[in-house]
Amino acid sequence: MNTRIKGHTQVKKSLLLVLVLTMLATTGGCKQGPWLLWDSYSAHFIDDQGRVVDHQGNDRTTSEGQAYGLFFALVNNDRARFDHLLNWTRANMASGDLSTHLPGWLWGKNAAGEWKSLDSNSASDADVWMAYTLIEAGRMWKAPAYSTLGHQMMTLIAKSEITDLPGFGLMLLPAPIGYHHQSSPSLQSWTLNPSYLPLFLFERLALEDPGGPWQHVALNIPNLLRQSAVHGYAMDWVSYVPGDGFFPVVAHPEKNTETPLGSYDAIRVYLWAGMIDAGDKQKGEVLSAIPAMSTYLVDHDSPPEKVSDLGIPMAQDGPAGYSAALLPYLSSYPGIEKARARQMIRLSKMRDQVSGLYGKDQTYFDQNLALFATGFLESRFRFGLDGKLKVDWTNA
């Protein structure tokens, strides 16, 4: 009896796997009506002012959340929501003027119960996504004011968040303050975050500003990944020491209470890699730097939540957003369709039918990863060879 039940279960699993593989092969990523996940996300995480609220983070707002919201609103051709998000960001995170102030990365409630900016230091990943999205909004909506603001943000980023690493070249700092460490002229290091570096964003900014630092950064991204992912897994934070190169570190090297990991930041490295245009010659270089996760998932049902700096996956399964983020990445490697199908099945099982959101806790971060991944797989957007955004509602 037990053998019969077990066999029946295996047949059901096999049929489900075949069904998903067939869907992957035949849908071609066609858009399927309204973007229901974006509708659910907007209802749950964006208030009437245009503030993206991280409910699991004490209802805080980050510049990353605002930048992602702007991007998704543009993809969905939702200009009214785009303007709400932009206006709130400008008023509350950029001293009223994004043309002269990069947004502080954190806004929320302080110890006195006041809602305000909690840290004026900007986060460069949010800044680059925001500048990129503004430039593309100006192009696709034929609204030059957006593009002008995007160019002004590019100027601020180039001035305060791009650095020249001795012996390596130009690279993006995580923020203007706190990531260059110098105890003497001959002893210095820089802390960097590989997940802040989607190749296609810098290729697009390079097209917009050929004389700027963007193409140099773009060309250095595969090198940074190859040197910092020494075991084939992306790391959350890495340090660069002239003469010694890159090695994994915690976010703040002066704190020795944590272990370097590949985790909630690094998962985005795989996501960005999978969304690079197939014709981009640097895509192969990026993928060849971080192949270990694809190899791991050939024989495992779930991605690890954490990977040690020695390249050892931790036992605990990653959340729903991890499976989503890895779908474009896995589709970039031939011959592992079953590994991709397993992640698609896992993700589909973790969607709440009432809220339309993913995961047991339906966290803000999981939904962002799922929006990027499913929007890409459904061909709601693509990034061209030059990094230009391609959406289905315009041929611009």
- Give CA–CA dist 379/381, Å, rounded: 5
Exposure string of 112-140, with b = 16+ CB inside 10 Å and e = fewer, is: eeeeebbebebbbbbbbbbbbbbbbbbbb
Please report which helix (H) or strand (E) contains residue 367, including its range: helix 364-377
SS3 51: coil
Q: How far is CA 197 from CA 125, 276, 285, 311, 335, in A?
A: 7, 12, 14, 21, 27
Average pLDDT over residues 58-79: 98
What is the pLDDT, as a whole number, of residue 253? 53
Q: Are 101 and 94 in contact (CB under 8 A)?
A: yes
Here the CATH number for the domain that contains residue 92 is: 1.50.10.10
Closest CA to 88 of 50, 117, 120: 50
SS3 215: helix
Q: What share of the chain is helix, strand, coil (3-state, %, to 5)?
A: 50, 15, 35
Shared domain check, 153 and 222: no
Residue 253: how many other CB atoms lie within 10 Å: 14
What is the pLDDT, as a whole number, of residue 29? 45
> Which of the following is catalytic: 47, 54, 59, 64?
64
pLDDT band at 256 (very low <50, low <70, confident <90, very high): low
Q: What is the pLDDT of residues 77-96, one digit of tens each?
A: 999 999 999 999 999 999 99
DSSP for 294-347, please give it: HHHHHS-SS-BS-EETTS-B-SSBP-HHHHHHHHHHHTTSTT-HHHHHHHHHHH
Shared domain check, 336 and 249: yes
- Give CA–CA dist 187/328, Å, rounded: 40
Say if residue 194's pLDDT is above 70: yes
Q: How far is CA 259 from CA 185, 277, 308, 316, in A?
A: 28, 34, 8, 16
Shared domain check, 72 and 125: yes
Say if residue 12's pLDDT is above 60: no
Average pLDDT over residues 63-75: 98
Annotated catalytic residue 64: yes
Shared domain check, 350 and 318: yes
Shared domain check, 173 and 134: no
Q: Are 370 and 377 in contact (CB under 8 A)?
A: no
What is the pLDDT, as a whole number, of residue 15? 39
Mean pLDDT, the chain, whole residue set: 92
- Give CA–CA dist 177/167, Å, rounded: 22
- In-domain check, residue 273: yes
Shared domain check, 173 and 135: no
**How far is Cα of residue 113 from the mean position of the Cα atoms in its chain?**
31
Average pLDDT over residues 55-60: 96
Shared domain check, 213 and 96: no
Shared domain check, 330 and 219: yes
- In-domain check, residue 20: no
Residue 157: how many other CB atoms lie within 10 Å: 24
pLDDT band at 11 (very low <50, low <70, confident <90, very high): very low
314 phi/psi in degrees, rounded to 5: -80, 160
106 phi/psi in degrees, rounded to 5: -135, 130
Q: Would you put residue 19 in left (φ > 0), alpha (ψ -120 to 50) or beta?
A: alpha
- In-domain check, residue 305: yes
pLDDT band at 184 (very low <50, low <70, confident <90, very high): confident
Shared domain check, 200 and 125: no
> Which of the following is catalytic: 125, 127, 236, 277?
125
Q: What is the pLDDT of residues 292-330, one digit of tens each?
A: 999 999 999 999 999 999 999 998 899 999 999 999 999
- Give CA–CA dist 346/364, Å, rounded: 19
Average pLDDT over residues 220-247: 96
Boundary residue ending a domain (125, 160, 195):
160
- In-domain check, residue 19: no
Annotated catalytic residue 299: no
Shared domain check, 177 and 109: no
Shared domain check, 171 and 103: no
pLDDT band at 186 (very low <50, low <70, confident <90, very high): confident
Least confident of 38-42, 273-277, 392-396: 392-396
Q: What is the pLDDT of residues 330-341, one digit of tens each?
A: 999 999 999 999
What is the pLDDT, as a whole number, of residue 14? 47
Average pLDDT over residues 260-288: 97
What is the pLDDT, as a whole number, of residue 185? 76
- In-domain check, residue 126: yes
Tokens of 327: 């779908």
Tokens of 333: 């490697």
Closest CA to 303 of 328, 331, 287, 322: 322
Q: What is the pLDDT of residues 345-359, one digit of tens each?
A: 999 999 999 999 999
What is the pLDDT, as a whole number, of residue 24? 44
Going by their DSSP bridges, the two strands 104-109 and 61-62 should be labelled as antiparallel
Shared domain check, 171 and 311: yes
Q: What is the pLDDT of residues 120-176, one digit of tens each?
A: 999 999 999 999 999 999 999 999 999 999 999 999 999 999 999 999 999 999 999
- Give CA–CA dist 372/390, Å, rounded: 14
Boundary residue ending a domain (116, 143, 160):
160
Average pLDDT over residues 265-290: 98
Closest CA to 212 of 167, 257, 248, 170: 170
Least confident of 12-21, 161-170, 216-225, 274-283: 12-21
Q: What is the DSSP letter of 379?
A: T
What is the pLDDT, as a whole number, of residue 84? 98
- In-domain check, residue 80: yes
What is the pLDDT, as a whole number, of residue 258? 75
- Give CA–CA dist 340/71, Å, rounded: 26
Boundary residue ending a domain (112, 136, 160):
160
What is the pLDDT, as a whole number, of residue 183? 82
What is the pLDDT, as a whole number, of residue 21? 44
Say if residue 8's pLDDT is above 60: no
- In-domain check, residue 10: no
Q: How many domains, in total, are found in the chain?
A: 2
Helices 2-26 & 337-349, crossing angle to 10 degrees? 100
- Residue 262 lies in domain: 163-396
